[in-house]
Amino acid sequence: MSALEPRANPYLRGHEAAEALVAEALRGGRFHHAWLITGPPGIGKASFAFRFARRLLAGVGQGADLSLPGTDPVFRRVAVGSHADLLTIEREINVKTKRMRTEIVVENAREIPAFMHLTPAEGGWRVVVVDGAEDLNRNAANALLKVLEEPPARAVLLLTCSAPGRLLPTLRSRCRRLGLAPLGEAAMGDALEHYLPQIDADARARLAMLAEGSVGRALDLAGGGGVAMADLVGEVLAAVPDLPVMRAHQVADRIGRDEDAFSTFMDMLRAGLAAAVRDAARGRADPDQSRLLGLRPLDAWVDVWHALTRLQNETEGAHLDKRQALVEGFALLAGKSPGFP
């Protein structure tokens, strides 16, 4: 089982304290007109926002959570995007290029003030969910700021954001911040058992460790052979600086033909390098990576990590040869020329 779209997902674990806080605010009437829901990617921010929205649209409950049963008419209408009092804003496909936009544009943001000033069709609340508010471009953010300066009655704005530092300070200051944390071990275990009952407990535990509290990341890894990918990253880090050229090209051929595999591998490679350096700095170096870490002073590995990040971004952004990029990445780790030895 994979996770449902957030608007249709009734399942949420690990954020009970945040739910209780919102439920209490609803019951007590201390209710802010705009909420900024923050936290790392993949931890359930969008699922939380739609859970919040459904509760508002259905009416204030008496429990400590915000859940609605999947059979509830409000749940069903939100799930299919047909509720008249809910507007969702997020990045969209550019009709001209047929590609996903890299930002939320002002034309989308301008829908928000008009929508929020309408009388609720069902006599309750008007709710807007901006999913990925860090993607608002400056004009879109300014359009949103206008409605926050003079918020209409019976209207609530819910913004999810993985990088709140990218938002305008004036926009952040007008929202009530609700920070969601990565899931703990027990919540991750429950979530992965729910979504991935078909895989064994050891594999789920490995995914949980790799995902570091992000259910979304764990599900992506499960779908993309993440455990095997992690083993491959471990092999590379343990073999450098003596990784044979032939093996480097074998790995590059295996990974470089698939865009998703390349991204996953490079993400894991940088994360593995950062973890190895961090452990070494704390006196807990992995013996399998001692040859790699001995190539440079620990603080010099920061430059290598940034170089790998630039290499990945340039390769993905400009659609460059991913196999060649992987070989260059291995050379960066080993401190050799791209055609090493």
pLDDT on residue 28: 84
Give the pLDDT score at 181.
96
- The four Cα atoms 46, 50, 51, 53 give a dihedral, to 10 degrees, of 140
Superfamily covering domain 6-179 = P-loop containing nucleotide triphosphate hydrolases (3.40.50.300)
197 falls in which pLDDT band (50, 70, 90)?
A: very high
Q: How far is CA 79 from CA 19, 73, 108, 127, 226, in A?
A: 20, 10, 21, 14, 29
Mean pLDDT of the chain: 91
User: Per residue in 34-84, pLDDT tens?
Assistant: 999 999 999 999 999 999 999 999 987 777 789 999 999 999 999 999 999
Encode pLDDT of 102-141 as tens digits: 999 999 999 999 999 999 999 899 999 999 999 999 999 9
Give tens-digit pLDDT for 250-269.
999 988 888 788 988 998 89
Q: What is the DSSP string of 140-184?
A: HHHHHHHHHHSPPTTEEEEEEES-GGGS-HHHHHTSEEEEPPPP-
DSSP 78-89: HHTT--TTEEEE
Q: What whole-number distance in Å separates Cα of residue 76 and Cα of residue 69?
A: 9
Q: What is the pLDDT of residues 264-298, one digit of tens each?
A: 899 889 988 998 899 888 888 778 787 888 899 99
Q: Reply yes or no on whether the pLDDT at 340 is more than 60.
A: no
